[in-house]
Chains A and B, each alone.
Chain A
Amino acid sequence: MQVNDTNKEFRPLIVAFCCNWCSYAGADLAGSSRLSYPADVKIIRVPCSCRVNPMFILRAFQRGADGVIIAGCHPGDCHYTSGNYFARRRMTLLFSMLDYLGIERERTRVEWISAAEGAKFSATMNEFAETISRLGENRRLEDLRCKE
């Protein structure tokens, strides 16, 4: 297993679950506005932030993610009326549990980003990538079998 090669600069792997109706379009807007965000962020499109099952987040960490962010519509703006309200409760409890197990609390995040907020998308991802880079490799919720 070769990890944390000291000669190489650490590049985090970040998984972003983006709601189809807002932040996914926000990412598009960021692109067309020529606002950059790190290539470390891998976007997975979901129909709603509440589609994100806790299992998705844990599986992302298993397969090598160093940080996971969920981006959905602002509260009140859900395409399905209330999906993001449910997501908000679920993710709060899940993140609290991860923190309780001693897994760094900064590795998980929820942000509300609308389709019009390309700039917010870019700024959020830059800031999140920076946080994760600072934290370094995900060690506490890793699956050694998945490391090459």
Chain B
Amino acid sequence: MQRINDDVLNKCRDLIENGTCDRVLAWEEGEFCYDVTPAVFTGDTLGKMIYDDFCAANQSKYLIDESHKEGRIAALLKPCDTYSFNQLLKENRIKRENVYVLGVPCDGKIDAEKARGLGIKGILGAEIDGDTVAFETIYGKKTCSKKDVLHEKCLSCKGKKHMIFDELTDPEKEPETAVPENGTSRFDGVSKLENMTAEERFRFWRGELSRCIRCNACRNVCPACSCRQCVFDNPASGVSSKANTNDFEENLYHIIRAFHVAGRCTDCGECTRVCPENIPLHLLNRKFIKDINELYGEYQAGYDTALDAPLTSYTKQDAEPGIVHERGVR
């Protein structure tokens, strides 16, 4: 299985050879088809670089550190990654001049765990042909539809257009505007919960959040969570008590995590992708996005670096907090 498009690889080689960049941020192959790791390549190691339908990680956060090193790095960014990149630029966390954004196209990324859920065990390799994925496993060949094994974040893709780039590897594939893959269905999960009774919602979230093992993966992977020291890692803050099996701690952590990125979260979906317990964390972040859209006007973080962020601006006519009480009482 070829794991990188020749055009992308050649482009990266050119960038290094003509001195535009001295290294490339991409992915390195693992033991199987799906366990790819973000990695930085130089001219000598470019041969090991890959980019295919298993490369799901949002690379933008690595650029905080990488852009503060000497030299210039070329970064393979997918359309959704560019929202996070923009947001980090807005927050002055990335040195723009040290990054060469190479926009790579994306056809949706495959989640091996979803394949396991379909009973496809012992995954070794995969061949993707249009909408069909043929997995090679210890127990023989198994095929499934690609959309059944896509990551949650790909099911609610914001569109295939890059928000920022220095160059596109496939300009012909680039759409004029960002068109969401599945229309407005991104908030369906949130609406479903909103339509439940408080009692049902409470039970739903206890069921989900009680699984939290407080590994902090959702926080550490989040491009919006870029504080040098998190309040939850600071023993002096009085809230870092780490008693991971306490209901209150679980609620506190997840409310504060989601709140702190409200208005800055681009809905890149990394939190849900990395959660070892498969907690649908995007439902918390999307609730804030939905509320912001409804109360303060449509806003997409990372779309435009010039716009005022919803939580650092206001209008005199804003809704009163009491609106929460008035809205859809059940």
| Chain A interface residues toward B at CB < 8 A | 54-55, 58-59, 61-62, 75-76, 82, 85-86, 88-106, 108-110, 140-145
- Are B202 and A96 in touch, CB under 8 angstroms? no
Chain A residues with Cβ below 8 Å from B206 are: 102
Complex CA–CA separation, A91 to B315 (angstroms): 15
Is B53 an interface residue when CB atoms closer than 8 A count as contact? Answer: no
B311/A97 in contact, CB under 8 A: no
Question: CB-CB contacts of B241-253 with A at 8 A, as 1s and 0s?
Answer: 0010011110110
Closest chain A residue to B260 by CB distance? A54
Known contacts being A58-B256, A93-B259, is A88 close to B320, with CB within 8 Å? yes
- Could you tell me if A92 and B239 are in contact, using CB atoms closer than 8 angstroms? no
B198, B288, B322: the one contacting A97 at CB < 8 Å is B288
Q: Which residues of A contact B320 (CB under 8 A)?
A: 88, 92, 110
The CA-CA distance from A44 to B168 in the complex, in Å, is 55
23 pairs from A and B in contact (CB 8 Å cutoff):
A54-B255, A55-B231, A55-B239, A58-B255, A62-B252, A85-B318, A89-B318, A92-B318, A92-B320, A93-B259, A93-B311, A94-B259, A95-B321, A95-B324, A96-B324, A97-B284, A97-B288, A100-B194, A101-B251, A108-B321, A110-B321, A110-B322, A144-B247
How many residues of chain B have a CB within 8 Å of chain A?
A: 47
Task: Tell me the minimal C-beta distance from B206 to chain A in angstroms.
Answer: 8
Instruction: Determine whether the beta carbon of A89 is less than 8 Å from that of B288.
Output: no
| A101: B residues at CB distance < 8 A | 201-202, 205, 251, 255
Q: Does B198 lie within 8 Å of A99, measured CB to CB?
A: yes
Q: Smallest Cβ distance from A74 to chain B, in angstroms?
A: 11
Asked whether B62 is an interface residue with its Cβ less than 8 Å from the other chain, the reply is no
What's the least CB distance linking B199 to chain A, in Å? 7
Chain B nearest CB, measured from A15 CB (Å): 16
Q: Which of A55, A88, A109 contacts B314 (CB 8 A)?
A: A88
The answer to whether A143 touches B246, judged by C-beta atoms less than 8 angstroms apart, is: yes
CB distance from A34 to the nearest CB of B (A): 29
Residues of B within 8 A of A103 (CB): 198, 202
Q: Give the distance in Å from the alpha carbon of A83 to the alpha carbon of B264 in the complex.
A: 20
B-chain residues with CB within 8 Å of residue A82 when the two chains form the complex = 314
Q: Please, which residue of chain A has its CB at the minimum distance from the CB of B201?
A: A102
Contacts of B190 in A (CB 8 A): 100
Residues on A with beta carbons closer than 8 Å to the beta carbon of B239: 55, 59
Asked if B303 is an interface residue, CB under 8 A from chain A, the answer is no
State whether B248 touches A142 (Cβ < 8 A). Answer: yes
Closest B residue by C-beta to A84: B314
The CA of A8 and the CA of B182, in the complex, are separated in Å by 56
The reply on B306 being an interface residue by CB < 8 A is no
| Contact call B256/A54, Cβ cutoff below 8 A | yes
Contacts beyond the supplied A94-B255, A98-B255, A100-B287: 19 A-B pairs with Cβ under 8 Å: A59-B239, A85-B315, A86-B311, A88-B320, A89-B310, A92-B324, A96-B291, A96-B324, A97-B255, A99-B324, A100-B190, A100-B284, A102-B201, A102-B204, A109-B321, A110-B322, A144-B246, A144-B248, A145-B243
10 closest cross-chain pairs (CB), A and B: A102-B202, A102-B201, A143-B248, A85-B314, A110-B321, A95-B324, A92-B321, A91-B321, A102-B198, A96-B324
Report the minimum CB–CB distance from B325 to chain A (whole Å): 5
Alpha-carbon distance A109/B246, docked complex (angstroms) = 26
| CB-based contact B314/A102 at 8 Å | no
- Nearest-neighbour CB distance to chain A for B315, whole angstroms, equals 8
Whole-angstrom CA separation of A86 from B310 in the bound complex = 10
Give a binary string over B200-221; 1 marks a CB under 8 Å from any A CB, 0 the rest. 1111111000000000000000
Select which of A76, A104, A106, A110 is within 8 A of B316 by beta carbon. Answer: A76
Q: How far is the CA of A141 from the CA of B287 in the complex (A)?
A: 19
